[in-house]
Amino acid sequence: MFKSLSAAAMVAAFAAPALAQPVVVAGQYIGTTQYTATIDPSGTCSGLGVVPGLTTSSVATVGGLGKAFTSTIANPGNGSSANPYQVDFINCAFPKLPPASAFVASSIGGVTGPAETIYTAVYPVPKKGQTDAQTTTNCAAATTQAGLNGLANYALISGNGTDSNGTAQTLTTTVIPVNPTGLDYGWKLTTTNSQVTVGGSLVCYLSTDAVYLSTNK
């Protein structure tokens, strides 16, 4: 595991002058994700290395706002033969990003320099009568566990509201313009209490803070 700036610090470091329209340019993004908290009474997730403070790197392929994206996550510690779930990579298929119309402009900073504008969307939004609007991210990880055919499948169920267990969830996407030409962008994905499920059964809750930076030149 390596140390890095927190996601919030990275946002502040890469924020730049406001643009008129939030856009995620098609292409690949370098991602850094930090696990910020867990609810893990059984200790199952911690036994697999899913613990607060863990930082992972990834490469995400994004089609644009309002479109789904995929991410290949590299595990910084691939474990050993003693760990049946040693991981070489994790491939995740995320649900659609919010459309541009869902984003609201706001300012950050301004204390030590000029204020910067970012664009934030809380997504999905519960509909009338709903307690929680949820999205599902499906992931597959390489494993040495017998009977899993080399892959372990799990899902992250994120949302805004209160899930069926009475646990509060949040899911926020922030677009961060990183230069005034409009060619390069960063974006941030923050989740609170996403359900980690295997075979439809809840294993634990995981909160994350991720920053993705465009590799377009």
pLDDT tens-digit readout, 128-144 = 888 899 999 999 877 65
For the chain, give every domain's residue range.
7-214
| Max CA separation in the chain (angstroms) | 57
Grade residue 2 by pLDDT with cuts at 50, 70 and 90. Answer: very low
DSSP state of 181: T
pTM for the whole thing? Answer: 0.79
Point out the least confidently predicted range of 85-89, 192-196, 206-210, 212-216: 85-89
Angstrom distance (rounded) from CA 23 to CA 64: 7
Q: What is the pLDDT of residues 148-184, one digit of tens each?
A: 556 778 999 999 999 999 999 999 999 877 655 555 6
Q: Given phi > 0 = left and psi -120 to 50 = alpha, else beta, which region is 59?
A: beta
Angstrom distance (rounded) from CA 93 to CA 136: 9
The length of the chain in residues reads 217
